[in-house]
Amino acid sequence: MALVPPARPGGVLTIHEALVAVRLGIVVAGGLAGLWCLRLALASGRDRWSYLLLAAGFGLIAFGAVAEGVLYEFAGWDLFAAHTAEALVSIAGFSSILASIVRSKV
């Protein structure tokens, strides 16, 4: 499942490499879902704001997955602080998705 070969050829995939691969999968899925929602917003004449909120929510979730890794690996934050920042961004993303669902009146 790893996108890059392990440090040792033929070696075992480490937990860190597996987590990076999962995070990349979240970013790809969130990015594609966000782009699809933007496409629906542009194609739809009505209820455009619901689709834009949905796209923003998926974008925030994908951004949070990247932000945690960047803050921990490159900015030197401790793991707890980086994970807290990611959780706050994810809360904002899920809130946006919930607002989109409530707004759509389905």
* Residue range 34-89, pLDDT digits in tens: 888 888 888 877 778 888 899 999 999 999 988 988 898 899 999 899 999 999 99
Give how far Cα 98 sits from Cα of 4, 50, 80, 101, Å: 35, 10, 26, 5
Give the pair of three-digit tokens for residue 59: 């974008």
Q: Is 54 within a domain?
A: yes
Does some domain include residue 63? Answer: yes
Q: Which domain holds residue 66?
A: 38-104
Q: Which amino acid is at 90?
A: S
The reply to whether 18 falls in a domain is no
How many structural domains compose the chain? 1
Confidence of residue 22 (pLDDT cuts 50, 70, 90): confident
41, with CB counted inside 10 A (0-12, 13-18, 19+), is: middle
Mean pLDDT of 101-106: 79
Assigned domain for 69 exists: yes
Establish if 4 belongs to a structural domain.
no
Please check whether residue 26 lies inside any domain of the structure: no
Run of H or E residues at 54: helix 48-73
Inside any domain, residue 64: yes
Is position 9 within any domain?
Answer: no
> What 3-state DSSP class applies to 2?
coil
pTM for the complete prediction? Answer: 0.75
Q: How confident is the model at residue 3 (pLDDT cuts 50, 70, 90)?
A: low
